[in-house]
Structure 1
């Protein structure tokens, strides 16, 4: 048509190149800002570090707590270990403990957290793990139904890739706001979360219908993908190979309510016993290790008031477990050849 001239290809190429350069510049600018702000306080850049945990979920807060040099012992597990108060272990053993448990995780995530803690604490004074049903899967990858931010506690390449996600961008903005807030709030430094009030608010411990669920008997057959063989022995051995031989490692078999125990002699009971045997075998390769077994038929397991559901125990049970874990750590520290020969005595905090 008269009066119109086609735009040369060179002009289109220049326009496209300008857009691409602009996008790249924005991406590089955002990445530089995110690395500087360090939204989850991984410690890779500490220019804006405030030494406090910004309120957030344990999945991301584990990055800061796991590198905090104020702590020399760690509790690593999921909600079946979360109720153990680190301050109790600190008081009884003299070791400053941090709670690094993350709900709805299994051994794959927990060993990643252990690796992160060891990266920042090459010579820890104690490690506490909890082996529950998630450890008894027959898939060596131990897949989880819930996403876990491996990138956050991984290498630099994974970290940089991980920052290119909407949630990370949002947290970058949130942390900037938190840094400049006059009423800056912080979460518990040691990571302890007393979830009793949350369960009580949902009716646990009071609602008759919820309490009825406690009495549902366990099946005699193993759950899907939990019949064995169990690859946890090799995975645990590999994880503990990174722990210094002089570091006490205590592994808890957390309790379940009596009705959740499979019938004696059933295929499920045999499978679970076989799994615990594999876990013990893996643990035994660490020279300074002990098991705290709360799957041994104690009277508390038959008390419905001691549990919220079949696998989540209440605070009084947690306190008893904490004391037994502390006892085991003290025995390991003293290398007592006969730990049952003398009664347990709490250690005074220096």
Structure 2
């Protein structure tokens, strides 16, 4: 009996030893996991608090949509905040070919408070999105200026491939739901911009864009090199000569051409109140970047301009700088075939003011007025 009791006691002692050892190890692992989880939650909490404190995209509904400074490199992420700041009653839309239009000069000429919301390489659809947001947030704008590059005349501007570029476009920033902006805030990109904003707050970094969206993105004028500019202007070849004989286009063929982006333009103009002054401008482009006279491309361009004038009829002033002129023939006016220099931006601003006021082109021949809006009291 004692033998059996001894064996049973030994077995129970072994079981207790095993059972005692398991909870010790389990508790240790549970403690380590709990500490790691707490550290992770703490890190996430600190990061979230940091992002909400600086809120680089104005994503928090209580932020008013505007950070203290614009620090992202992609204007598509920044401009919705400029719009939602409600500081501006007027705006410029377009691509880099209109970005040099200085809002301060526009304000001086037209008596408005304007922002330049033109985006590098923006598609017609992207431009219509920021314009749409501006009109929703600013129901009674004083002045709208839209730069119309040839991309507005593309027959497939409404195709998926032409709606966006390789640059990220935060579509949720352009709707009325602020909560769906948060995924763009809580990611590595949002964290990067928040750090830039923090560095700006401590005086370690300059703001990327002015509060009105304006930036001189071209090199300083003091660094202008005509020979280098010419290498860019004629990168694809020498000056284009007129086609002889010119391409013949029938009226039926012209009528069949599609310009789908002009429907978006018409919709935007249709939403403007009568007191808003609207200006549509074809920015200047060096003649070597224009379609050759007599070509099919030139015929399409002329047809598109005619349709823009028809869309604008009575609702907007249409000003054309994109044709061979004293501006576009001179190499020294451009950095490349697309981008003109600051003095030309000043000439465009004064030209738009002249056109709206009906005073005509003082220099003669550098712009054409294709359509005149009804007078605004």
For 1:314, the equivalent position in structure 2 comes to: 341
For 2:252, the equivalent position in structure 1 comes to: none
For 1:71, the equivalent position in structure 2 comes to: 88
* Residues 83 and 193 in structure 1, CA contact (< 8 A), matched pair in contact too: yes
User: CA–CA distance in 2 between the matches of 1:44 and 1:199?
Assistant: 41
Partner of 1:45: helix, strand, or coil? helix
* Residues 53 and 64 in structure 1, CA contact (< 8 A), matched pair in contact too: no
Partner of 2:63: helix, strand, or coil? coil
State TM-score, norm by structure 1: 0.75
Partner of 1:291: helix, strand, or coil? strand
For 1:232, the equivalent position in structure 2 comes to: 261
State TM-score, norm by structure 2: 0.70
For 1:85, the equivalent position in structure 2 comes to: 102
Partner of 1:256: helix, strand, or coil? coil
Of the three residues 120, 139, 142, the one matched with 2:157 is 139
How far residue 172 of structure 1 moved from its aligned partner, in angstroms, is 2.7
User: CA–CA distance in 2 between the matches of 1:48 and 1:79?
Assistant: 25
For 1:288, the equivalent position in structure 2 comes to: 315
Within the alignment, does 1:171 sit opposite 2:193 as a pair? yes
Between Structure 1 and Structure 2, how many residues are aligned?
A: 321
For 1:124, the equivalent position in structure 2 comes to: 141
> If each structure's helix is expressed as a fraction of its own residues, which one has the higher value?
2
Within the alignment, does 1:53 sit opposite 2:72 as a pair? no
User: CA–CA distance in 2 between the matches of 1:237 and 1:18?
Assistant: 60
Partner of 1:245: helix, strand, or coil? coil
How far residue 66 of structure 1 moved from its aligned partner, in angstroms, is 2.2
Relative to structure 1, the CA distance from residue 135 to residue 315 in structure 2 (aligned partners, 3 Å threshold; closer, same or farther) is same
The structure whose Rg is larger is: 2
How far residue 184 of structure 1 moved from its aligned partner, in angstroms, is 7.1
Q: After superposition, what is the alpha-carbon deviation per residue over 1:266-318, rounded to whole angstroms, capped at 9, x for unaligned?
A: 2111222233333333333xx53111111243222111111121121122221
User: CA–CA distance in 1 between the matches of 2:65 and 2:167?
Assistant: 31
For 2:351, the equivalent position in structure 1 comes to: 324
User: CA–CA distance in 2 between the matches of 1:254 and 1:311?
Assistant: 9
Between stretches 53-62 and 110-119, larger displacement belongs to 53-62
How far residue 115 of structure 1 moved from its aligned partner, in angstroms, is 2.2
Q: After superposition, what is the alpha-carbon deviation per residue over 1:131-166, rounded to whole angstroms, capped at 9, x for unaligned?
A: 102212213153323322333333324312322431
Relative to structure 1, the CA distance from residue 212 to residue 40 in structure 2 (aligned partners, 3 Å threshold; closer, same or farther) is same
For 1:346, the equivalent position in structure 2 comes to: none
User: CA–CA distance in 1 between the matches of 2:51 and 2:115?
Assistant: 27
Within the alignment, does 1:110 sit opposite 2:137 as a pair? no
Within the alignment, does 1:190 sit opposite 2:212 as a pair? yes
User: CA–CA distance in 2 between the matches of 1:282 and 1:17?
Assistant: 66
User: CA–CA distance in 2 between the matches of 1:279 and 1:4?
Assistant: 86
User: CA–CA distance in 1 between the matches of 2:166 and 2:296?
Assistant: 26
Relative to structure 1, the CA distance from residue 281 to residue 48 in structure 2 (aligned partners, 3 Å threshold; closer, same or farther) is closer
Instruction: Map 1:208-219 onto structure 2 (within 5 A).
Output: 209-213=231-235, 216-217=238-239
How far residue 17 of structure 1 moved from its aligned partner, in angstroms, is 12
Relative to structure 1, the CA distance from residue 182 to residue 166 in structure 2 (aligned partners, 3 Å threshold; closer, same or farther) is closer
Q: Which runs of 5+ in 2 are unaligned?
A: 1-14, 248-255, 360-368, 370-377
For 1:347, the equivalent position in structure 2 comes to: none
User: CA–CA distance in 2 between the matches of 1:48 and 1:171?
Assistant: 15
* Residues 64 and 84 in structure 2, CA contact (< 8 A), matched pair in contact too: no
Between stretches 16-25 and 242-251, larger displacement belongs to 16-25
